[in-house]
Amino acid sequence: MSSTDEIDIDKIVRSRLGDRSRWVPRFATRWLERLIHQDFINAYLRQGREGVNFCEGVIETLNVSLTVEGLEQVPMNGRPLTFVSNHPLGAVDGVALGGIIGRASGGHVRFLARELLMNLKGLAPLCIAVNKFGSQSRDFPRQVEEAFRSDNHIIMFPAGLCSRRIDGQIRDIPWRKAFIQQSVRAGRDIVPVHFLGQNSPRFYRVADWCKHLGIKTNLAMVLLPDEMYRARGKHFTVRFGQPIPYQTFDHTRHPNEWARWVQDKVYEI
């Protein structure tokens, strides 16, 4: 495996900032390297795993154990499905679902992921990149359309970001409607997934501070690699609900209302 397959935070930061990077001192990127556990991540990347095997390897390396409930009621070998899940952890939940659904479907799975994750070469083959930092690629709508019309199952986190503390509970923000619209167009049934877990209190404090101070930048996201590292040795439960026929999502409700309806179903599982 070449060194270019590893994470280099200093290089990534400076390439994104361009000329402005001269104002970023090296000690700042060193601190960020420690925060995201760059050495730990690169040691894993040097194993050279790819695709579903990459996802399963992350779970194994972290010594995370999973209880999977309800997957037996999901027809994995029939028509491709859209799996939609809450997003409590921001990292472990993603690779866990990639491994579980990928293994059950013989590798026929793709999921929408932040463009930044494309730096992980082993994960990139499973991803359709969503650019959260700049202008969206002109090819993105076409790529999403092709993905939904493919034979691959699609995994989505419709909230678009990790769960937050809302009225004292850890819960996703309101889900976006795209998964409803795309699934109906492609004739895909939707499978609700409830991933039980939460991040450290520090993560939610940072997210709360950003909200109260009006900071639009998602600073809490920087903590997600550390949250993944803190998940070592933990146990999580993943519950799959019964597929919801795409014909359910008719014109009696707006797509936004259907999205909220499915989100409520997830938390009822």
Residue 43 forms part of a structural domain: no
Question: Mean of the per-residue pLDDT values for the chain?
Answer: 87
90-110 residue pLDDT tens: 889 999 999 999 999 999 999
In whole angstroms, what is the distance from residue 163 CA to residue 199 CA? 9
Count Cβ neighbours within 10 Å for each residue of 208-230 and write b for 16 or more, e otherwise.
eebeeeeeeeeebbebbbbbbbb
The 8-class DSSP code of residue 74 comes to S
Residue 198 forms part of a structural domain: yes
pLDDT at 200 over 60: yes
Burial class (CB in 10 A: 0-12, 13-18, 19+), 87: buried
Residue 240 forms part of a structural domain: yes
CATH number of the domain bearing residue 59: 3.40.1130.10
At 129, the pLDDT band (50, 70, 90 cuts) reads: low
Tell me, what's the pLDDT at 114?
66
Residue 149 forms part of a structural domain: yes
- Which range of 4-8, 127-131, 172-176 scores highest in mean pLDDT? It is 172-176
3-state secondary structure of 22: helix
For residue 113, what are the domain limits?
49-268
pLDDT at 37 over 70: yes
Residue 7 forms part of a structural domain: no
Our count of domains for the chain comes to 1
Residue 140 forms part of a structural domain: yes
pLDDT at 192 over 60: yes
pLDDT at 112 over 60: yes
At 3, the pLDDT band (50, 70, 90 cuts) reads: very low
Mean pLDDT for the stretch of residues 132-143: 60
Residue 73 forms part of a structural domain: yes
215-250 residue pLDDT tens: 666 778 888 999 999 999 999 999 999 999 999 999
Q: Which residues lie closer than 8 Å to 175 by C-beta, 6 or more apart?
A: 84, 158, 159, 259, 260, 262, 263
8 Å CB contact between 184 and 254: no
Residue 255 forms part of a structural domain: yes
pLDDT above 90 covers a percentage of the chain that reads 56
